Amino acid sequence: MAGITYESAQAQLQEYLAAEAAILHGQAFSRAGKSLTMADLATVQAGIKTWNQRCQELAPADEITTAPLRRMRVMEVIPR
């Protein structure tokens, strides 16, 4: 992802989180001349998901605190 740094991804994520909080509190949120309302909540939440994923992809190794948990599948059980 050329041109996107971890810091810029974090800044975008924070803006989307602020927009979501404002919308959930019944307020409108304006960004770059566009006003977002409750009807735009799904769009804002999709942006949060996108920027959160980008932050995790770009995070330095020492800042990653939680890795996705993998499900283990039991293939065979041998009673003793």
In a domain, 76, yes or no: no
- How many domains are there within the chain? 1
In a domain, 79, yes or no: no
In a domain, 71, yes or no: no
pTM above threshold 0.85: no
Residue 48, helix vs strand vs coil: helix
Q: Phi and psi of 29, rounded to 5°?
A: -130, 130
Cβ neighbours for 70, distance < 8 A, ≥ 6 positions apart: none
In a domain, 32, yes or no: yes
Which tokens belong to 54?
């980008």
* pLDDT average per 10 residues of sequence, the chain (80 residues): 80 89 78 74 88 88 55 67
- Position 1 scores a pLDDT of 46
Q: Phi and psi of 76, rounded to 5°?
A: -155, 140
Structural domain for 43, as ranges:
6-61
